[in-house]
Each structure stands twice: as C-alpha cells, then as structure tokens.
Structure 1
C-alpha cells in the first residue's frame, strides 16, 4: 500500500517496525519511512518462546501497545488520512480523530470475534491447542472498529464476517490484494508428476491437516503433495500420521516461490480462516488453477470451474473430488491454469490494487470536504 500511494504522490510517511533498509525494499523512499525496529525485534524474540512461556500473550500485547503509542506520535495535523493496521492502531485512530484526520482501519482477517469462534471450533474438533486472540486483544480490536470511519478488508468473506457482527455495510469496503506479476511468472515444468502445491504456515488455521488427509486417502499414482512453508508444533501429529504421503521443503524466500509453483499442477488452500491468502494470486500468476475454501478469500480471485473450485471448509470429501478431477482431466486443468494467470494479470496486479485504494481514499476525502 505504501509503495502504491507513493507512486501516486500521496504518501507522507510509513511508520513501521521493520528496519528502514527492509522497508525500502518495498519501494518506499527512505525519507518517507519512520522505523521503530526495536518493537519488531522484541516481537520476534517473544515469538521464539511461543508455547514455552505462560501468558506470553500479555507480553506481546504490551509490545504492540508500546508500538502503537510511538507510531501515533508521527501523525501530523496536516495529514488528510491516517491508515492503521488492526491490532496496533487504537491510539492512532484516536489521535487522528482529535486532529480532524480521517481514520481508516486495515483488517487483513475476519472480524476478530468471528475469527476466534472458528479457531475455537477447530481446537474442539482436533483436541489440539492453537494460538488465538485473547479476550483483551478482542476487546481492543473491537474498539478500533468503533473508532474508525472506514474499515478496509481484502475479501468478500471478511466483509461478510463484519456485517454478520452488526457493522454497517457502508463502513466496510473490500479491496483485494494484488501480486507482482513480474516476480511471479511461470517457468517450464520439469516432469510429468501430478503435483498439488500448498504454500504457507503448516498450521490448523490453514487447514493443512485436511489437505494431508485428502491427498493421503486418494493415493494417486505418479503424484505428489508439495508443502512449502514454516511449521508449527501443532501440525506435528499430522505430519507423523501421514508420513510418506507428502514432500515438505520448509520455508523458502518469496523470490524463489515461483520456481515451486511452476512445478505444480494445481494449488490448494484449505484455510479455516484468513483474509486473502496472498500465495493464491502468486500461484495463479504462475499458471496454477486454485482449489480453495471461501474463507481464504479465493472467491474474490476465481470464477467457479473457470480458474478453479471453491469448497466448504473442513470438507475432505469435496477436496478429494476436486483433486481427483484435476488428476483425471489434465488438459482442462491446464486450461484453468491459463485462465487463472490471465485473470491475475488483468485484475489483480499491485497496480490494480493501488488504483482501487487511491480511488476509495479520494472518494472519502471528497465526501468529507462537502
């Protein structure tokens, strides 16, 4: 977003916990960056002890509060709009209103109460503890929803979760994320293996355990399930249960992901909850059709049976049916992938995203001046 706003000449500053040198890699000039890197360092240190230290979430909450207090001080009375990320923007939204600046909240996942309910259901189904928002954090996010004039979300699924919680439709606007189509461009596939690809954290929230079960039960000849990403301890029992039925390559730098996508036949994303998984448009840009749940945001990217399939969450039977169809209909599957690539190029580049953001912000400012 900061990069796109800068390209259009309307970014005053980006306040971030990333080091300035890292933020510059996103195309934001150094003189526009206010870096508060010690908060990022603290957050990552605490993350390494997740599950080891009792009540670690209290320390994380403290770090986020300190960051948002520091970030809010960079808001200027000459600004038109303040855009804050959910979870770290309560103080910024409050200061923006005080200075008569339009307060906007970016929420990348579903309404925090909706999110927590879905995760709690998964804990009860699987009998495994996973990270989920604390009650204190939930209440903080809800205060941010109230303090903002507009909530920007990345998918229809997320928007619906807010409407279901009683937020006015006029307050929630959907702007899907984009992808760098130059970075994510296909290369030649090196073999004839039918390959289902997943990229993301190995965790229950991403529905990896359902994908493992479905692929293992299908037992398709000359096929492979390729898993890319870091792994959380909660998925270890499933890795052990389905050992031998998948290939796990661990975390890979984003700049290398196109190589792995290009060796796939279809991309599968079975998340229980998230906003819009950005690996989906990345894989589509590399020519892969998509099998996804509506809770991945994939419904915003594909048209049913044209660029892929949308299946219900937790539905292993439906997942098996779609994988089987792709396996038995390689030509049609390849054509789906071609349409997927074209759709991303024509609708979901980062410039497309920037155009939508800039248009919405301009409308808000114009309406506010009337």
Structure 2
C-alpha cells in the first residue's frame, strides 16, 4: 500500500492516484486542500462556485484523502489580496515553499503513526515535499519513490546561471537562481534517500548525477495527453500565422530567446501571442519586444480555445521537466518549435510534428518560424500528425508505467 503526498494534485499526480486506486494500492493521499468528487456537499454550492471548487476535487473515496489546509488557504487569500510579504519566496509564512515543507512534516508524522494500521509499504513523494517523509520511511524500512517533475537542481542551477549572464535584465524571472542553500540541501537529501526515481523525460533523467543513474532505479514515464480538440478556427488559411508561447513570462521558458528570434524574422505574416503570467511589469516585456499580443492566464477550457485559434506552439525552454502545454497544443493540432530542454523530444518528428531547436539559439528559432511562413501549405498535414502523436500518450498508460516501476 502506497502513501502519496502532494500539495496540489496536478494532472500527473491525479493519474498516479487513479492507477493506485484502481489496483487497490492507495493507502492514503495527503494534500493541502482536497475533497472527493462524490461528496454530496459539493452539490450544495452554486454552479459557478462549484466549478472552482471542483479544481481541488478527486475521483477518490473521501476516506482516502487527508488534508492539511491552513497554509494553503492563507496563501490563496494572500495572493488575491496582494499580501506579498506572506507569500515571499521561501521566507513568507504562506509561501509555496512553506506549504510544501509543512505538508512534508505532516506526512512524516502520519507515516509514523499509521504505517502498521494502513499496511503502508511504500511512500510516493515529489521534489520539495519529501525530505522528512523519506527520512521517516527509511527509519521504518518503507520503500521510497521519488517523482522528479523538473530537471535536477544542480543541472537547473548551471543552466539558469548561464542565462543570467546572457540576459542579466531577465535574471529576476529565472526563480531558481535565488533558492537558498537550505532548500538546495533538502533537494539533495531527497534524491539521496530515494530508491526509485520517476522522470517525465529524457532531459530530466540526463540531469541526474551519473552516480544516481548508476545506483538507483530510474525510469522515464512520459505524461499523458488531453483528449483531441478540434476547431474550425485551426484550419483557417488566411491572415497571419499565429505563433503561441504559453507559460510564465520567464527566460527559464526561453521567452527572451523567442523575442530575439522575432526580431530576426524577415518574412511578413507572423503574429506572436504570449499567454501567461508576467513576473515583471508588462512594460519590461514591451521594451524587449513590442510586437506581441499578451493573453492572461485563464481556465483550462479557455486555454484550449486560444490554442485552437493559433497555428504553432513555440516553447524554447531552458529548464523544464516535461512541459504539458506541448501535448495540450498538439491535441489542438499545433505543431511545435521546442527545445529538448522542454522535455518533449520524443514528440518531435522533424518536419512532421514540428522542429527541435537548440536551447539558447534565437537564430534557429527564427529559421523555423521562417520555415512555417514559407511552407504554410504543409500545416494541414502537420496538424493531423501532431494530433496523432499526442493521442498515443494517455494518462492510463502513464499510470500503468508508474505501477510497473513500483512493482509489487
């Protein structure tokens, strides 16, 4: 029986939960806020409120979920009220880091108290939320499965510091360059204690220390794709080609390189759409490259509608794990221009589902944008190839891979 711990329950977490639950291997899911989708209480809320609440709903029986909500509730309120001192990186009482660390401590205590009662023989933890849990699990001789959703910190730090040198003005958007020594030490300890390491991409696997890859069981389990999404708007043949960037407005995701690439594009007819949360004031981005349309973050269904109005996804990331936005875009019929560092190397069939470009190369990005502008007639076939490629990756298959890695 597996104890799984995660504060938010992303799509990949939900797939693992579903796999464990359908095989009767889920002892308990520990999270911050969460409830069972079968709860009759949910039907008491107005429809608009219910849609927001269901984002923290899980297709699990209520007795499989245990919550620790205080910091997460304060974090959400602080963000809405603009109380930034409460959510300040690492030090704020309701910062993301404190939310993760707090849940880690709760999980360690829960394991100690309930290991025998629930017959827990394995714990499934995620980066930044597993150090104390894994310490307790080792003491109790419980297996430790570590899900690393992004490149290991040593590789990430090296790459991000290089970007800080290339684009000093973008350094505040990088995030990881400001992690404390204490936080990095916890990450190191988590990996040391792990027995099985789950990676979403070859990029993440390759980011691990060589000794880890030799001494531990490390597997690649690619994320699943959303259902195919079709729209007549994605088959338009007139007007500018719409190139979409989706994600935080950061050079970690390669936005500075994309802006530099757009300045190099000589063929007319390219429109850049940038969807995501700005980290710096919007005038900073306009000063770097004025010619883009900004679209704010939005609910998932609205994201898919925006994707269907665009033609190509461009994601020249420097550090990722496996950016799920790639498969979401492909399911909407968008071919990719992406780096290996975005984690979707296996999604790219050159010239069919898109193009792989080197990280940190605006010139190559510009070359591929030019290619699409000059080969617009190839887009219909590429749209179908992108959809077909995405459809081969399902969340059920992802969950099955995790189960196989965990074993009996």
Same fold (TM over 0.5): yes
Q: 1:185 aligns with which of 229, 240, 245?
A: 229
Q: Deviations over 1:150-182 (max 9, x none)?
A: 11111000100104475426432111111221x
Q: Tell me, yes or no, if the aligned pair for 1:267 and 1:289 is still in contact at 8 Å.
A: yes
Alignment match, 1:27: 59
- How much does 1:43 deviate? 4.3
Q: Deviations over 1:252-302 (max 9, x none)?
A: 111222211111211110111010001000001111111101110010322
**Counterpart mapping for 1:78-227 below 5 A:** 78-128=119-169, 129-130=171-172, 131-132=175-176, 133-164=179-210, 167-168=213-214, 170-181=216-227, 184-189=228-233, 191=236, 192=238, 193-218=240-265, 220-227=267-274
User: Which stretch of the first structure deviates more once superposed, 214-223 or 307-316?
Assistant: 214-223
**Counterpart mapping for 1:285-364 below 5 A:** 285-346=331-392, 348-362=393-407
- How much does 1:49 deviate? 5.8
Let me know the Cα RMSD of the aligned residues.
Answer: 2.4
User: Which stretch of the first structure deviates more once superposed, 233-242 or 314-323?
Assistant: 233-242
Q: Deviations over 1:78-117 (max 9, x none)?
A: 1132101111111111222222221111111111111112
User: Which stretch of the first structure deviates more once superposed, 322-331 or 286-295?
Assistant: 322-331
Q: Tell me, yes or no, if the aligned pair for 1:186 and 1:258 is still in contact at 8 Å.
A: no
Q: Tell me, yes or no, if the aligned pair for 2:317 and 2:342 is still in contact at 8 Å.
A: yes
Using the alignment, how far apart are the partners of 1:251 and 1:213 within structure 2? 23
TM, length-normalised to structure 1: 0.89
Residue 360 to residue 53, structure 1, CA distance change in 2 (3 Å):
closer
Structure 2 runs not aligned, ≥5 long = 1-15, 36-52
Alignment match, 2:73: 41
Partner of 2:73, secondary structure, is helix
1:70 matches 2:103: no
TM, length-normalised to structure 2: 0.81
Using the alignment, how far apart are the partners of 2:198 and 2:281 within structure 1? 31
Alignment match, 2:299: 253
User: Which stretch of the first structure deviates more once superposed, 110-119 or 33-42?
Assistant: 33-42
Alignment match, 1:58: 91
Alignment match, 2:21: 6
Residue 330 to residue 122, structure 1, CA distance change in 2 (3 Å):
same
Q: Tell me, yes or no, if the aligned pair for 1:186 and 1:259 is still in contact at 8 Å.
A: no
Q: Tell me, yes or no, if the aligned pair for 2:226 and 2:327 is still in contact at 8 Å.
A: no
- How much does 1:250 deviate? 0.8
Partner of 1:172, secondary structure, is strand
Q: Tell me, yes or no, if the aligned pair for 1:23 and 1:33 is still in contact at 8 Å.
A: no
Alignment match, 1:368: none
Using the alignment, how far apart are the partners of 2:217 and 2:122 within structure 1? 15
Partner of 2:145, secondary structure, is strand
Q: Tell me, yes or no, if the aligned pair for 2:253 and 2:319 is still in contact at 8 Å.
A: yes
Partner of 1:264, secondary structure, is coil
Aligned pair count reads 358
Q: Deviations over 1:186-217 (max 9, x none)?
A: 21116423111111111121111211221243
User: Which stretch of the first structure deviates more once superposed, 287-296 or 299-308?
Assistant: 299-308
